[in-house]
Chains A and B, each alone.
Chain A
Amino acid sequence: MAYYGSVEDYRYNDDFLLRLRDLRRGNLDLGWLNAGTEQREFRAENPKRGLTYLDLDEGSYGFSELDNEPRGPRGAAPRGAAVEPEAQADLGPELNHKNDVWAYKVASFTEEAMSRQWDASTAIPWQDLDRYERPEELEIAFAQLCTFFTEVELIATDLPAKWSWRMNNQFQEVKHFIATQAMDEARHAEVFRKRALAGGIGLMEALPQAEHTLKAILDCNAYSEASAFMHLLAEGNVLTMFRFSEFISPTPVDKRIFQLVMQDEARHVSYGLQHLRWVMDKDPGRKEELHKTLEEAERISIGQFDAALLECMIVLAGKGTKPGQIAEGVKLVGGFQVRQIEEYFQRLRRAGFEERIERSLFRQLLADIGHPDPLAAA
């Protein structure tokens, strides 16, 4: 067991034992009644929505007026509780500035995440899978796609978990949001694993190249860097992949899977967009750091080419492996890759980081495939 601080054996502490005996006799101290915290009655603004974090955004319990650097608490004291910072356990949070983690609308995203949870065991009409004809070559390609997504989502589960304990507990709404994200990603890994196995093919090849990309996200030095890389760029890419995968899905059962996972993914992307927007507004001095992060992220993303992934998508998009089907698949997958980049640029614009587009490595990629320059188009 890890050693923490000075551990006194209270079984032999006379003061402590005396106090315990007093308590058992009913002699209460009641000092905690003088906490001096704010007493307010909070009510749901809309009973249909229930009592939300937004309803609690007042006074010492609120988050809108929270300072960028809340002084003092480094332990688990909830915001608004009476606290003696010097008596707290120092949990060593590294993210103690609101600007490090906060996003516009984060409390709404958290409420939405809680409300829109779903159960991979029951929300998918698994029993209908056999109602639809599924040619073996498409089923194999789909199993490869599910293997890739399972791998991606397992790492995506780890990222919010890595940062959660590093955040100061004053930022409860953000911690809650990334906890829902971890749950979402775990459910995605679950649903893709179940789909691959339910189809009768099982899992196919794991893709190390994708793993290296995802490791780069995990290795980011700062949370805002990790968020820009993961939420905005990588999850943005995956969101477009989910949309494309819904489009090429062979059965309505598979379409249902992608409709549900895309909702979660879009929420994570929206949080990332709003966090980047917050940083651009409140801490613009970090732009150069984020340029560097996204430059590296873009380079890694370009380099994540994996034949198995692209090929299984081509087979699914073309609905087979005959030459004409492959040609159709290549055309559709090419269009999807352009859309990934276009949507990334649209989100950068909305986040107030349009200048990133000019420096983006993806512009060269678009030029190489003969696509119009997005800046000229804008």
Chain B
Amino acid sequence: MTIPFPSLEYFQALQQRTREDSDIFEKLGVCDVDFGAKVGERMFSVRFEVCECVEVREGGDPTALDFVLAGPPEIWREMLQAIAQHGGADAAHTLNTLTHVGNQIQVEAQDAEGSDKLFRYMASIQEFFDQGRHLEIAFD
């Protein structure tokens, strides 16, 4: 089934993947974080509790989230295509790489405590997006 991106269905499909591949997430460890993914002007909120993605929804208050990953649709698209092609992010498209230099994807946070959560849970959040390797995505 083809899933459109950006869409709530895409994030719901990733959430479902965290349940189907729960072993991977449990091995990575607890991940208690509320973050946003902003694709152009559309915002999606993702909540992880213990080792599982427990909620995804469209919208959300950025100030109530630990951090928001904000980037233009074409960068998100490039990242998702790289994940599909390589079975996970390649060297040029990991979340850290995209957020660290050049700010292709911006990490927006109210304070350092929030943004540091991206680094504390980097492997889990990377794996969340890498689960897109199992999805067939159609881009707007």
Task: Tell me the A residues contacting B by CB distance below 8 Å.
Answer: 46, 48-49, 108, 111-112, 115-117, 239, 243-244, 246-247, 249-252, 255, 258-260, 262-263, 265-267, 269-270, 273, 332, 335-336, 339, 343, 346-347, 349-350
Contacts and interface: CB of A to CB of B under 8 A. Distances in A.
A343 B100 CA distance: 12
B50 interface: yes
A70 B52 CA distance: 39
A48 B51 contact: yes
A296 to B, nearest CB: 22
A332 B101 CA distance: 8
B29 A336 contact: no
Contact of A116 (B28, B96, B112, B115): B28
A111 B30 contact: yes
9 closest pairs, A vs B, by CB? A116-B29, A266-B119, A115-B29, A346-B112, A115-B30, A266-B120, A350-B112, A347-B112, A350-B111
Contacts of B32: 108, 112
A255 B96 CA distance: 9
B123 interface: yes
A349 B96 contact: no
Contacts of B112: 273, 343, 346-347, 349-350
A255 B126 CA distance: 12
A49 B50 contact: yes
Interface of A is mostly: helix
B121 interface: yes
Interface string B100-127: 1100000000011101110111110010
B91 interface: yes
A196 B58 CA distance: 45
Given A115-B29, A243-B119, A266-B117, 16 more contacts: A46-B50, A48-B51, A112-B29, A112-B30, A112-B120, A116-B30, A246-B97, A259-B123, A266-B119, A269-B116, A273-B112, A273-B116, A346-B111, A347-B116, A350-B111, A350-B112
A302 B50 CA distance: 40
Contacts of A269: 116
A340 to B, nearest CB: 12
Nearest to A345: B112
A139 to B, nearest CB: 15
Contacts of A244: 100-101
Contacts of B52: 48
B90 interface: yes
A111 B29 CA distance: 10
A263 B121 contact: yes
B81 interface: no
Of A48, A111, A244, chain B has the most CB atoms within 10 Å of the CB of A48
B68 to A, nearest CB: 16
B7 interface: no
A243 B29 contact: no
Nearest to A244: B100
B113 A251 contact: no
B101 A247 contact: yes
B50 A252 contact: no
Contacts of A252: 88, 90-91
B109 to A, nearest CB: 9
A121 to B, nearest CB: 15
Contacts of A260: 123
Contacts of A346: 111-112, 115
Contacts of B126: 259
Contacts of A117: 29
Contacts of A46: 50
B16 interface: no
21 contacts: A48-B52, A49-B30, A243-B100, A244-B101, A246-B94, A247-B100, A249-B91, A252-B90, A258-B96, A260-B123, A262-B119, A262-B122, A263-B120, A263-B122, A266-B116, A267-B120, A269-B116, A270-B113, A343-B112, A347-B116, A350-B111
